[in-house]
Structures are given as C-alpha cells and as structure tokens.
C-alpha cells in the first residue's frame, strides 16, 4: 500500500481523538485518524453511553415493579412487569450504532481521513498501520496519542467466563441471579445499582473503608442509604479473592467468607491503553503508568502530544475532548494552553452526584477561609412533584469576597446541573451573582439560588 504523509496523525478515535481530528480538519490541517475498533472509543461503545442506557432501562423496570407491588400514591396500576434484557441490549446497541455513524460522518465532513487498523510507532514521526487491507506506512509532522484506557484485571479474578469487565457486564443478555461487584467506585456502583433494579441480588466488595471514597461523606450518604433500600449488601474494608462454583471468596477484618456470585464484575480502576502501540520505540517521560504532559498536552518528545486517559486522572471524556480541541488549535498554529478553572465530574448512581471545583475540605486545604451552605431538596417544590426529595445542593465560597470555589449536589437528575456549576466557576461568579439571578420556578435548579442565599445568611425557604 502507498505510504501516507499528513500534517497531523491522531491515534485513537475516542472522545478526545475524534474531537481533536474534527477540529483540526475544520481548521484546515491535513489530518488522519486511526482506530482499531469503531469510532467513539470506550465512552461511546462500551462505557458512558451504554451504561447510561442500561441505567435508564433499569430505572423504568424498577418503577414498574414498585407500581405492580405497591400501587403507590400516583394512582398508576401495573401488573406483572418483566424484563427482556436481550431486547434492552439491542436498543442500547442501536443508540451506539447511531452515534458511531454520527462520529464517522462528522470526521468525513471535516475532511479527515479515517483508517480502521492498528498503529505501531516506528519513530516519533512515523507509524506502521496494520489493517485488513495490509500494512501501510504513515509519516506525520505531529502525532497525538489518544488510545484511552482499559479495565484493570486482578490476578485472582482474570476476565473471562463468570468474571466480567464493565464492557462484558453491559453486554449481558440475561440478568444474573447473584452479582458481586468488586470495587465500590462510580463504575461499580452505577452498574451494580442498575442490576439490583433489574432483579439481581448484588453485593459490593470495596477495599476502602467506604464506598465512593473520592467524594465526601455528605455526598455519598444518600447513595449508601439507597443501596440499603435496594437490598444491596455493601462490604467495606474487604478484598476479593478467587471465584469457584458460583461463589466469591472475600477477606475481611473478621475473617473470610464465600458469597454467592453467579457473575463477578471487577471495577478496580483503569490503565492506559498502550497495547501494541510500540511506545518502546520512543523516549517518552512517564508519570507513573501515564504519559507526562505539559499544559499544552505536549509529551517529552517534540511534536508528540497525548490526550485523555493515557495522561492520567481525571479520566473523563469531557476532559479528553477539551484537550483534543486545544491540541488541534496548536496544530493549526494558534495559541493554546490549559486554563480551565474546573472539570465537572458526575456519578450516575441513584441518586446522582455532581461536583465542580473544590469541596469544603479541599478549599480549606488550599488555604481559603470559606463559607458554605446547602439547600435540601425536601424543601424544593419541583423535587416533591418528582418524588425525588433526597439530596441537596451545596455551595463553597471564599469568606472575604464570596467568590464561588466549588459547587456540589446529590439528588435525582443532578447531572443536568453540571453545566451551570462549571459555567459559574469559569466565569468567576460570586454568591451575590447567583442569589440575585432569577431562577425559574418550579425547578430543581432553584436549590442553587437557595444555597447561595443561605451562604449569604438570608435563606428564603428554609
């Protein structure tokens, strides 16, 4: 096959890679993107999108089961609801397919050449691409490594058979009778809670002293309470060992126990997706297992960039997208640098958790004297009409000038407040800005204004 020369080569078509390629193409940069699988990466194909589809299916089925069992106060009668998980997976796969096609169409529209195959470095300017058409040499002025990440595998619980990665769990076509989730972080809890709602008996096994250790206890307490309501057993300070005959061995401070587990979902973290990339041909500085980058996403080799999960935490699709857009601008000769004030994070548990900026403890650790206040959804009219009174919105601001340093919330549908939270912090808003902005009634977003009012010392509805 004829060799290819291009200005920019992007290796990996996940959220960071495809955004980088699209923007570079729009800016007139000759761009090639190489992806071994379908466009969209982990997030679109086996992560963010499929998991949210499963969560939605599970919630609808759970509501139907509750109505059939209890009738409820809404006056809705349902009888004998059943779940066809295979049909739900087909629906989920249809969404993924539509988004795959959409990404491919956007790349084409931007003038980007897409190649399905595996790229392996020869040197800092050259890769060999292996596809079903054969091998092809590609030379680029600049290269972007955007190969994402893969699930971490445990030595005693290798993936295969009854031991599932998140990818495999999202492809199940039948609900397991019993499911053990090893890892009480956001991925494990999101999927574990979904399967609990679908009818599985779920056990969470977490090595730390509590679930979701990356969030403060005020935010995680409503999730812990909801797990109890769903009948999910949570084992903290526990470590999972081998699995045999439908049972998982778990070691705790009180000894060992074999718990029922037809399937075991392992969600103990993710590691960079460097497999087959040939990084040993390059001299790239590392930061632990990740590629070390500067504020422009440059690696230690000239004209080799890295974005997304290969650069470490936070491993979030929207961070990768922002990095990709910045690198595309740099490739087009425009100035660029990372100047983001915050990166929002969302945990799609029940209830949802959203954070932006600093929580109270982090703000004080950074040397700020702060004032903070929360507004509970039990005092919010819209939350009452949704039957979703659990949770709150919290604001963290500087004591001296009331500059907002962080915003957090836990509750139903809180993911949709992430944009507002981020915008306020990026724009340098103060408590007074939020308190004096008219918020539409009745909405859950009013809790944001009420939290600001409470921080200023004059709340209205509490």
Note the pLDDT tens digit of each residue in 207-256.
Answer: 999 999 999 999 999 999 999 999 999 999 999 999 999 999 999 988 99
Percentage of the chain surpassing pLDDT 70? 100
pLDDT tens digits, one per residue of 269-288? 999 999 999 999 999 999 99
Options 318, 402, 441, 458, the catalytic residue: 441
Give the CA dihedral 315, 318, 322, 327, nearest 10 degrees.
50
State in words which class domain 4-46+89-151+271-331 has. alpha beta
Does residue 21 surpass a pLDDT of 90? yes
184-204 burial code (b ≥16 CB/10 A, e <16): bbbbbbbbbbbbbbbbbbbbb
Tell me whether domains 4-46+89-151+271-331 and 163-268 share a fold: yes
> Residue 103: which H helix or E strand, with range?
helix 85-109
Among 286, 134, 282, 261, residue whose Cα is nearest residue 200: 261
> Residue 376: which H helix or E strand, with range?
strand 370-376
Under 8 Å between Cβ of 146 and 320: yes
Residue 318 catalytic?
A: no
How far apart CA 353 and CA 346 sit, in angstroms, is 6
In DSSP terms, 266 is beta-bridged to: 182
pLDDT of residue 236: 96
Does residue 73 surpass a pLDDT of 80? no
- Model confidence at 456, pLDDT cuts 50, 70, 90, reads very high
pLDDT of residue 291: 98
Under 8 Å between Cβ of 230 and 222: no
In DSSP terms, 328 is beta-bridged to: none
What's the rounded mean pLDDT across residues 95-100?
96
Q: What is the CA radius of gyration of the chain?
A: 24
Give the phi and the psi of residue 181 in degrees, each rounded to 5: -110, 115
pLDDT of residue 72: 63
Query: What architecture does CATH give domain 163-268?
Result: 3-Layer(bba) Sandwich (3.50)
What's the rounded mean pLDDT across residues 453-460?
97
pLDDT of residue 22: 98
User: What is the domain partition of the chain in residue ranges?
Assistant: 4-46+89-151+271-331, 163-268, 345-455
pTM of the model: 0.95
Does residue 342 surpass a pLDDT of 80? yes
pLDDT tens digits, one per residue of 172-205? 999 999 999 999 999 999 999 999 999 999 999 9
**What token pair was written down for 362?**
């982090």
Residue 102 DSSP label: H
Which CATH code of 3.40.630.40, 3.30.390.30, 3.40.640.10, 3.40.50.410 fits the domain covering 345-455?
3.30.390.30
Q: Which residue has the tokens 């340093």?
A: 405
């Amino acid at each position: 096959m004829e060799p290819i020369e291009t200005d920019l080569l992007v290796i990996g078509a996940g959220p960071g890679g495809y955004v980088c390629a699209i923007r570079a193409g729009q800016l007139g940069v000759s761009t090639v993107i190489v992806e071994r699988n379908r466009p969209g990466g982990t997030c679109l194909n086996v992560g963010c999108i499929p998991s949210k589809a499963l969560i939605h299916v599970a919630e609808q089925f759970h509501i139907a089961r509750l109505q059939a069992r209890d009738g409820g106060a809404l006056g809705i009668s349902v009888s004998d609801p059943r779940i066809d998980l295979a049909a739900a997976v087909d629906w989920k796969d249809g969404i993924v397919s539509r988004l795959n096609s959409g990404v491919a169409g956007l790349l084409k529209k931007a003038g980007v050449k897409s190649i399905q195959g595996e790229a392996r470095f020869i040197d800092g300017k050259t890769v060999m691409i292996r596809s079903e058409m054969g091998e092809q040499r590609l030379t680029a002025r600049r290269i972007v490594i955007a190969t994402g990440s893969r699930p971490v595998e445990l030595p005693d619980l290798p993936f295969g058979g009854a031991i599932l990665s998140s990818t495999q769990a999202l492809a199940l076509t039948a609900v397991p009778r019993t499911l053990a989730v090893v890892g009480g972080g956001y991925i494990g809890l999101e999927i574990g809670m979904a399967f609990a709602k679908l009818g599985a008996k779920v056990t969470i096994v977490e090595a730390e002293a509590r679930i979701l250790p990356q969030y403060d206890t005020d935010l995680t307490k409503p999730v812990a309470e909801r797990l109890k309501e769903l009948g999910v057993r949570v084992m903290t300070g526990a470590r999972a060992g081998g699995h045999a005959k439908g049972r998982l061995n778990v070691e705790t401070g009180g000894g060992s126990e074999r718990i029922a587990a037809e399937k075991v979902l392992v969600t103990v973290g993710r590691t960079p997706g460097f497999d087959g990339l040939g990084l040993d041909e390059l001299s790239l500085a590392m930061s632990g297992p990740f590629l070390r980058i500067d504020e422009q996403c440059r690696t230690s080799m000239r004209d080799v960039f890295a974005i997304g999960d290969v650069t470490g935490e936070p491993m979030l699709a929207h961070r990768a997208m922002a990095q990709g857009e910045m690198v595309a601008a740099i490739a087009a000769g425009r100035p660029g640098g990372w100047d983001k004030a915050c990166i929002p994070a969302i945990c799609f548990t029940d209830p949802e958790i959203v954070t932006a900026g600093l929580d109270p403890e982090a703000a004080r650790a950074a040397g700020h004297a702060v004032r903070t206040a929360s507004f509970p959804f039990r005092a919010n009219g819209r939350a009452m009409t949704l039957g979703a009174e659990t949770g709150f919105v919290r604001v963290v601001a500087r004591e001296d000038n009331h500059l907002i340093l962080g915003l957090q919330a836990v509750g139903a549908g809180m993911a949709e407040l992430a944009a507002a939270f981020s915008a306020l912090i990026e724009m340098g808003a103060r408590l007074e800005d939020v308190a004096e902005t008219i918020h539409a009634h009745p909405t859950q977003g009013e809790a944001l204004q009420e939290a600001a009012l409470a921080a200023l010392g004059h709340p209205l509805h509490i």
